[in-house]
Structure 1
Amino acid sequence: MLIRKSRRLLNWTSAALAAWLALAGCDDPVPVPVRMVVVTMFERGADEGDEPGEFQFWKERRNLNQRFAFPHSHHDLYYNADSQILGMVTGVGTAKSATATMALGLDPRFDLRQAYWLVAGIAGIDPEDASVGSAVWSAYLVDGDLGYEIDAREIPEDWDFGFFARRTRFPFDPNRPEPRGEMFLINAELRDWAYGLTKDLVLPDSPELAAHRSLYVEHPNARRPPFVTRGGHIAAMTFWHGALMNDWANGYVRYWSGGETDFVTSAMEDTGTYQAITYLHEAGRVDRDRFMVLRTGSNHTMPPPGITAAENLLRENEGYSGMRASLEALYIVGGAVIDELLSDWPRYSVEVP
């Protein structure tokens, strides 16, 4: 077993070294310059030509045709030498997203010191804030896993939830500790710049989405055609669903953001991704101020009236109501920001918006 592993490592190292030498054209490898990293989390099948996941539109439409083997992570990397865009697929969950980001950041084949990072993924979205197909720029990233938890059937009568912050005595304890991975505030000025650039974009809509919207009679924002907005994000390894969990997520994001925002989108990776970015920043490998999170709503995080949480969750397992529209919105909104950054690279390479 040890011999086989050693051979695999040797084979990968030799291949990587050969790639570096070929790129450099000499005996001293020159790292590949990267202006933009598009961070996606999953692909549904092939990278091209079938039902798309988060990565496919970027690979096809941005001509990310140069492959870099990435055996120490979830999925190979793809690059365009003209635009200097690098696309990655981290895998689902904070564990995979953190390790994939760290693996890329430490990979000597790439120069990421001036790269902007765009997390471009689908998400659950709160019907109180937005409709399926809407796009959300986030600055507050809250981790929904790091905490204490007691089964709700055993919590004190005056508690609303059984999950609460570590180093506190009860849910939403006003003596909030300093976050140690429970919350990250990324560059809000860059978030606001990206939002200002994209807030008036027209996003994909369809009769199917309109029919879905009509079910949410108690949530005016859920009934709007898809739009671009801002709001907090919660990342947790559990795919949760329902009105009670929705209330918890809103309160928990509001708690960790000090009331600056509540929960708008929910997914499984972004706190892990950004945790890795913070470490890489300290190592001089990346600039954490160039990190952006864009999530589009593929489904709501709670059911409409008349449907139970279990029924709605099982329906979503058969296919998200807004999958295609949310993927198109990711490309439209994220692409507008990428185009602006690349169109004036001499400026943005040294000056973060």
Structure 2
Amino acid sequence: MKRPVNFRMNRLSAAALLAVLASSSVMAANVEVSDNTQARRARPVKAMVISMFAPESEPWVKQLKLNQEIRVPGLSPDYPVVRCNRNDVCNVVTGMGYANAAATMTALIYSGKFDLRKTYFLVAGIAGIDPAQGTVGSATWSRYLVDFGIAWEIDSREMPAGWEYGYFGIATKGPNEKPKPDYRTEVFQLNERLLQKAISLSKNVQLDDSNEAKAFRAHYSYAPANQPPTVVQCDTASSGTWFAGTALGKRARDWVKLLTDSKGTYCTTQQEDNATYEALKRGAAAGKLDVERVAVLRTGADFDRPYAGQTDVDGLVNYGEQGGFVPAVNNLYKAGGPLINDIVVNWRRWEYGVPK
């Protein structure tokens, strides 16, 4: 008896389907093998120091002898290589600002050149500092990263009576109303155990100072602005705009309090940290790294508001006269080095998570 044509076609279709499934299984296995092979070939990294421009990088390169250079496609054209040493500590320089930070970190994470699954990341850069929380040269460890720039704005000359500044949360009706976190990058909280470990390792270090910084901080009539630099725990605000002055400084204090439900304390202003952290967070979601291994260190290079009798514009335009730049740069390694060195020396304790 002749079998129907459609029966033969069904047999052929079934055979073709089995062949496709078998091919897919082989391809999936090959992809898995390829991923594993790539991970084995990638350079292991115990700690990655993240700098934003060359002066922040230089103390790390010098002190840790970061003599190995690895070129990574997609990094900043100004800083196209990652520098490492034989102890598996590396340094990447992102370039300044949100766009550079996000682009560089994304290129680094997905380059396939580094095994970052157990890596500790230390963002280490200079910043403006609130004189109510620290002084030029102070080293600050962040618990919260708050985006200062995601906001509505009206010209301060046209704001309603009773407002102190023209910024307020998107889709809110005024400066005192907390916005919904629709961007999902407005505020990040870092790992508390790592934060406390970093503070305990650095709290007794002798920080650098300068005669120029000592002379400038004497203009302030209150502590800690007029005191020598110390290690402090307080929080940082990110903004593409380099803001300064009494009114905007107060807005930064208020904004950090508002977005952290009064748990955070603003003290430093910088241009990259929320962008850097978001790139790391997405890398963690892709299985490339552990976002619980991120710490943020910012040192005060200049005050974010003037002393009594100084104008806002003078405080901003002449920030370089405050004498804080050199000690702030040097104190990145002074305060951050103990954490990095402890991770390397005691890697067996750090390898599987922050030790108790």
Instruction: Specify the TM-score bucket, using the shorter chain as the normaliser.
Output: 0.7 to 0.9
**Map of 1:37 onto structure 2:** 48
**Map of 2:56 onto structure 1:** 54
Q: Which of 98, 108, 114 is 2:102 aligned to? A: 98
- In the alignment, is the contact (CA less than 8 A) between 1:65 and 1:78 conserved in 2? no
AA aligned opposite 2:163: W
The alignment partner of 2:208 has SS state of coil
- Structure-1-length-normalised TM-score: 0.86
Render the CA deviation track for 1:208-257: whole Å, top value 9, x for unaligned: 2211110111x311011110011110000011111111100000011111
**Map of 1:216 onto structure 2:** 220
Q: Which of 296, 316, 332 is 1:293 aligned to? A: 296
Q: 1:27 to 1:182 in 2, by over 3 A?
A: closer
Counting aligned pairs with the same residue, the percent is 34
1:66 and 2:68 matched: yes
- In the alignment, is the contact (CA less than 8 A) between 1:139 and 1:186 conserved in 2? yes
Matches within 5 A, 1:259-298: 259-298=262-301
- Structure-2-length-normalised TM-score: 0.85
- In the alignment, is the contact (CA less than 8 A) between 2:136 and 2:302 conserved in 1? yes
- Give how far 1:78 is off: 3.2
AA aligned opposite 2:138: S
**Map of 1:140 onto structure 2:** 144
AA aligned opposite 2:349: R
Render the CA deviation track for 1:1-36: whole Å, top value 9, x for unaligned: xxxxxxxxxxxxxxxxxxxxxxxxx99971000111
- Give how far 1:189 is off: 2.2
AA aligned opposite 2:216: H
Q: 1:207 to 1:156 in 2, by over 3 A?
A: same
**Map of 1:49 onto structure 2:** none
Partners of 2:171 and 2:203 lie apart in 1 by 39
Q: Which of 226, 229, 234 is 2:229 aligned to? A: 226
Count how many residue pairs are aligned between Structure 1 and Structure 2: 316
**Map of 2:174 onto structure 1:** 170
**Map of 1:16 onto structure 2:** none
Render the CA deviation track for 1:12-64: whole Å, top value 9, x for unaligned: xxxxxxxxxxxxxx999710001111000011xxxxxxxxx101111122111
Gaps of 5+ in 1: 1-25, 44-52
- Give how far 1:89 is off: 0.6
Q: Which of 120, 126, 130 is 2:130 aligned to? A: 126
- Give how far 1:197 is off: 1.6
Q: Which of 110, 114, 120 is 1:110 aligned to? A: 114
Partners of 1:184 and 1:251 lie apart in 2 by 17
1:243 and 2:250 matched: no
- Give how far 1:81 is off: 4.2
Render the CA deviation track for 1:100-127: whole Å, top value 9, x for unaligned: 1111111111100000000010000000
Render the CA deviation track for 1:265-297: whole Å, top value 9, x for unaligned: 000000000010110000000100000000000
Partners of 2:80 and 2:261 lie apart in 1 by 39
Q: Highest CA radius of gyration, 1 or 2? A: 2
